[in-house]
Amino acid sequence: MRFPQPIPVRDIALQTGAEVIGDATGSVKGMNEIHNVATGDITFVDHEKYYNFVLASAATFIFINKKIDVPAGKTLLYTSDPFRAYNDLAISQRPRLYSGASVAATAHIGEGSVVYPNAYIGDHVTIGRDCIIYPNVTIYAHSVIGDRVIIHGNSTIGADAFYYKGRGTHYDKMHTVGRAVIHDDVEIGSGCTIDAGVSADTVVGQGTKLDSQVHIGHDATVGMHCILCAQVGIAGNVRIGNHVTLYGKAALSKNISVGDRAVLLGSSASAKSLEGGKTYLGTPAEEVHRASRQFAMIKMLPDMWEKLRKL
């Protein structure tokens, strides 16, 4: 999330009760969790396991729960609870909005677009031209819908990111300040759920088509002209290239990428990145020829066992 105007780091420290370590004269341009930070952003880290990763990131400003030497080009904001400080800043910059109208007064709907009864369009939503929004669709605040987009009934666009911090006996919820962005000529089937980014955007690229009951997690990016069949599940921060096909019930774990023109066959799942231009099968997914050989060998195991027993 980029701020409308840069905020002096001293003001953020005062607001959150943090202590500035290093250059206190800078201004913060935006906020992002670690996978999407850019120069000028503020992020947070609250576990020593991730210190080096976060300190080496593009983030200029970092909430941290330990006083350490300040790396070159960084400003640290020391606090006992970086998650809470970051969350408080997020809430102040994008408070939750409540609209009692079916179509919020601040929403913009382009020429030629049709919104059916019982759809809900939240504050600051932008819908392009010649779109069709079917009944019972929910589009959360700040979502962006391109031109000629079709969204079928009971789908939800821009719901809160599924992001929590365990506190031993309970979980603290991360306040969502990101958006869901749907580009031109996308069709979204019925019962689909596309979460907003934590503090960046969840993106569905131009011309991509979703079957019914597809889930896309926070901060994921789906490229152009992809096909996502029914019950596909995509976890947070997944990067999917262009012209990718995911068949029914395919699943992708968080923080991985899928190259252009890859195919993941039905009921397959992967927790590692997949190269483009190849077809994959199984759990964990392997190239289809290798996976087929493995399945064939597994089927042979009972007969092989019987032969071994008779030796």
User: Around 28, how many Cα atoms within 13 Å sit in the side-chain half-sphere?
Assistant: 30
Cis amide prior to 8 (ω within 30 degrees):
no
Is residue 108 part of the annotated active site? The answer reads: no
Q: What amino acid is encoded at 15 in this protein?
A: Q
Question: DSSP assignment of 199-217, as one string?
Answer: SSEEEE-TT-EE-TT-EE-
* Catalytic, out of 142, 152, 215, 218: 218
Q: CA Rg, the chain, in Å?
A: 23
Q: Please check whether residue 152 is in contact with residue 134, taking contact to mean a CB–CB distance below 8 angstroms.
A: yes
Strand partners, 172: 165
Question: How many CB atoms are located within 10 Å of the residue 21 CB?
Answer: 18
b vs e for 163-201, b when ≥16 Cβ sit within 10 Å of the residue's Cβ? beeeeeeeeeebbbbbbbbbbbbbbbbbbbbbbbbbbbb
In Å, how far are 148, 176, 199 from 94, measured between CA atoms?
29, 8, 10
- Residue with token string 């087929």: 292
DSSP structure class, residue 169: S
- The C-alpha torsion from 107 through 90 and 38 to 160, rounded to 10°, is -60
How far apart, in Å, do the first and last CA atoms of the chain sit? 68
* 3-class state of residue 249 by DSSP: coil
Cα–Cα distance measured from residue 197 to residue 121, given in angstroms and rounded to the nearest whole number? 18
- The C-alpha torsion from 77 through 83 and 85 to 86, rounded to 10°, is 90
- Tell me the angle at which helices 82-93 and 9-16 cross, rounded to the nearest 10 degrees: 110
Which residues carry out catalysis? 218
